[in-house]
Structure 1
């Protein structure tokens, strides 16, 4: 009788420890996922406050409306702001290097984001737009349009920020679904 009780206790003990280990592993994985998410989101916005301070000190910009990021061969914060005369400007602030060469564009000289989006919609009917952001490639200001086309390709389309003409386009085929 005593051996039977020990066998039942050992069977339940094994089940208890297995469940405890499984719960601890699950909690550990959840905590790691939360930490990883927080770290990725923090790195995504890293340097934005520094960029704001530098732009406000080094340029005639007095009000910053928004800051986006463009990642190409070089990475830039794209700053949308206004100067004292309420003229809207777009400034490309390089993220790398100590010497910062700013590229400033008068927003009144560029095609609006809405016009580029309308032009894109007329050219690509069954496409899924992902993002439109100003880009700077080889010191040429462009609009970067990122979308999926009807053939399920990932497209990076670069259009002139001044007249909407195509600068270059990359079509990537998905290997894995």
Structure 2
């Protein structure tokens, strides 16, 4: 083997080693950054859940949702001594306890009922999410789904399940 071939082999090995090291460092740093960001969001969400527990007459949390409308809300479905309640906590920096509101789950359409009502009117659709929220001071269910080549955001009133608002975007 000539000296030139030996240097070329060493150069290729050195280059590959450097590229692999850079790739590994990139993956590790990206992973730490991702988990740091996600952990921060989880902590913030837990803060809003704690506010719901402190403010509303619920003792335990069954599930929680995040609604992103004109104003973001954490919505907690919790259990009081007598009933289940939906608690709506606005996601804002200066939160007044009067900003938190709730309603009995017995007085509204359930998630399953709203899904069934939607399926009757949209049989060839692909449901992506169902989230409770608040729009214009009104409790709503937001359904996000795909229909044909469109992404549809449709809201229904919480109590009766009537269509409240709808917007769609073409995916073309």
TM-score (structure 1 length as normaliser): 0.88
Query: Is there any run of 5+ residues in structure 1 with no aligned partner, and where?
Result: none
Structure ranking higher on relative contact order (CA contacts 8 Å, 6+ apart): 2
| Shift in Å, 1:174 | 1.6
Q: What does 1:89-128 correspond to in 2, within 5 Å? A: 89-100=85-96, 101-128=99-126
- Secondary structure at the aligned position of 2:94 is classed as coil
Query: Do structure 1's residue 33 and structure 2's residue 30 form an aligned pair?
Result: yes
* The structure with more radius of gyration: 1
| Shift in Å, 1:6 | 2.1
| Shift in Å, 1:40 | 4.2
Q: What does 1:42-53 correspond to in 2, within 5 Å? A: 42-53=39-50
| Shift in Å, 1:58 | 2.2
- Secondary structure at the aligned position of 2:2 is classed as helix
Note the aligned Cα RMSD (angstroms): 1.7
Number of matched residues?
170
**Take 2:64 and 2:18, find their aligned partners in 1: how far apart are those partners?**
45
| Shift in Å, 1:171 | 0.4
Query: Do structure 1's residue 148 and structure 2's residue 158 form an aligned pair?
Result: no
**Take 2:34 and 2:126, find their aligned partners in 1: how far apart are those partners?**
26
TM-score (structure 2 length as normaliser): 0.90
Deviations 1:52-84 (A, max 9, x none): 332222222112111111111111110111222
Query: Do structure 1's residue 78 and structure 2's residue 108 form an aligned pair?
Result: no
**Take 1:172 and 1:36, find their aligned partners in 2: how far apart are those partners?**
32
**Take 1:163 and 1:144, find their aligned partners in 2: how far apart are those partners?**
14
**Residue 20 of structure 1: which of 17, 20, 23 is its match?**
17
- Secondary structure at the aligned position of 1:132 is classed as strand
